[in-house]
Amino acid sequence: MGGVSAVWGGFSSFFSIWQICLLQISPFFVAFIVGIYLATIGNKANPEICRWMIIPCITYGIGFTVFYSLLIASGLNISRPLIHNIGNLRVVSGVIILLVGLYILLVNRISFLGKIRLPLLLSTLFLLIGITFALIYSPCITPMLSDIMGIASQRSTAVEGWYLAFCYGMGVSIALCMTSIALILFTRGRKIVLRNTSLIINICGTILLILAVMNVTGLMRHYKAFVLGFVL
Amino acid sequence: MSSINCFKNCRVIIFLIAFLSGCSEEVGKPLLQVGEKAIPFTLELLDGKQINLEQNAGKGLVITFMSSWCPCSNDSTPLMKKAYLEHKNDQIVFLMIGVQDSRSKFEKFVKKWDVPFSAGYDKGDRIAKDYGVSSPPTTFFIDKNGVVKRAFYGNIAKKPDEFQQWIKEIL
């Protein structure tokens, strides 16, 4: 197995039955990207989609992929504190998501926040969301991921396994970002969106707040158990 | 203004990275590795009894970490049951541990599949953390000497022949 096939494995898993497991994060990521787009750049007359969205999506991909692959590569020394502290890290993630959700809800209400709508800020928020989503996500083990985890769990092959997990996570990130950007491009400028922009922003921000509370309180495991169990 | 904000954001990221990269007392704790002794644990079973590694010394042990919401866990369970029924008179113990799940959902899962061997809920995923389990299902094969011979990540129903072979290795 090589890096390219691992990227393809992650990418294709997004568009397969394994999407069920991605329900842990995909609706929240869509809420994040749609909310942040509408709250910050959607009201610009001629938004430069590449500058404002592509670069942040790349930083999201970096954050998600690095931490996702480290959690898979249990044979690496650096992965130990991550796995041992995953409960605490999920609480920290919840706090970060809470702040991001509040930012989406308040950016157009508090003038101070409105002044810091910068590409750098967006990239930072996307990076943080990428890291937090990697921490709160418990991936379903696809056949390819099964092989990768087998390699990554052994100390002697952990680096190779980490590389493959990195490629696999990159595939998942690319698929998630592509889908979200396509959704934005599809809905951009539509009358129904323009009429209900504030409502959509509020819904997206609230969805993130719910995710934050679930992670801080430990209810996320119930979300997984009930929502994914219901779908199954 | 933007440089101040940039500095603040960087500070948060540096703090997070420092925390994640090992500034923790947990660093010294081992994660289970194939070829090493299994990490001792005590688990309360769903029927209220307790199980630990010591009481199964001298027997092979198949430990599988599962979640009710996980498709692979649901796929793997029938094969686990079949293997248990084939080997229930041998010196081998099967144990299912519920992780990343709600207790009630895991109990329903065990009932739904009528799991005939011991099953317990890992509150706080403590055992899973020691065993390096980041996702269900993950299965460990531990021999009579308490040494981990194999670890398998994912749907074991896809590898029925290997599964039988790995059980024979620990008998």
Q: Is the pLDDT of residue B18 over 60?
A: no
pLDDT at A25: 85
The Cα B164–Cα B168 span in angstroms is: 6
pLDDT at A47: 56
pLDDT at B3: 46
Q: Is the pLDDT of residue B13 over 60?
A: no
State the SS3 of B75-139: HHHHHHHHHHHHHCCCCEEEEEEECCCCHHHHHHHHHHCCCCCEEEECHHHHHHHHCCCCCCCEE
Is the N-terminal amide bond of B71 cis, ω within 30° of 0?
Answer: no
Within 8 A of A138 by CB-CB distance, chain B residues are: 67, 100, 134-136
Q: Residues near B96 by Cβ (< 8 Å), separated by ≥ 6?
A: B64, B66, B80, B110, B115, B117, B118, B119, B120
pLDDT at A44: 60
pLDDT digits (tens, 9 = 90+) for B64-93: 999 988 888 988 999 999 999 998 888 899
pLDDT at A231: 63
Which amino acid type is present at position B122? D
B146 touching A (Cβ < 8 Å): no
A149 touching B (Cβ < 8 Å): yes
Going by the DSSP 8-state scheme, the letter that residue B148 receives in this structure is E
Within 8 A of A74 by CB-CB distance, chain B residues are: 31, 132, 134
Give the best residue of A138, A142, A230, A231 to mutate against chain B (max B CB count within 10 A).
A138
Considering its fold, how many domains does chain A have in total?
Answer: 1
CA distances from A86 to A80, A127, B23, B62 (A): 10, 18, 14, 25
Residue A37, domain member (yes or no)? no
Q: Residues near A173 by Cβ (< 8 Å), separated by ≥ 6?
A: A10, A60, A61, A64, A65, A130
- Residue B14 binned pLDDT confidence (cut-offs 50, 70, 90): very low
Within 8 A of A17 by CB-CB distance, chain B residues are: 71
Residue A51, domain member (yes or no)? yes
Domains of chain B: 2-170 (3.40.30.10)
Who among B24, B100, B152 is closest to A221 (CB)?
A: B100
Residue A227, domain member (yes or no)? no
pLDDT digits (tens, 9 = 90+) for B107-162: 999 999 999 999 999 988 889 888 888 888 999 999 998 899 988 988 888 888 99
The Cα B86–Cα B98 span in angstroms is: 23
The Cα B138–Cα A153 span in angstroms is: 11
Domain that holds residue A165: 3-13+47-221
Segment (H or E) for B153: strand B148-153
- The CA distance from A39 to the nearest CA of chain B, in Å, is 19
pLDDT at B27: 43
| Beta pairing partners, B93 | B61
pLDDT digits (tens, 9 = 90+) for A144-182: 888 898 898 888 888 999 999 999 999 999 998 888 888
pLDDT at B33: 75
Residue A42, domain member (yes or no)? no
Residue A25, domain member (yes or no)? no
CA distances from A196 to A37, A72, A117, B123 (A): 14, 41, 21, 43
Within 8 A of B126 by CB-CB distance, chain A residues are: none
Asked whether the beta carbons of residue B68 and residue A225 sit closer than 8 angstroms, the reply is yes
Q: Tell me the three state secondary structure of residue A198.
A: helix
Q: Are A35 and A204 in contact (CB under 8 A)?
A: yes
pLDDT at B23: 41
Nearest partner of A136 among A25, A11, A58, judged by Cα: A25
Asked whether the beta carbons of residue A74 and residue B132 sit closer than 8 angstroms, the reply is yes
Give the best residue of B5, B23, B135 to mutate against chain A (max A CB count within 10 A).
B135
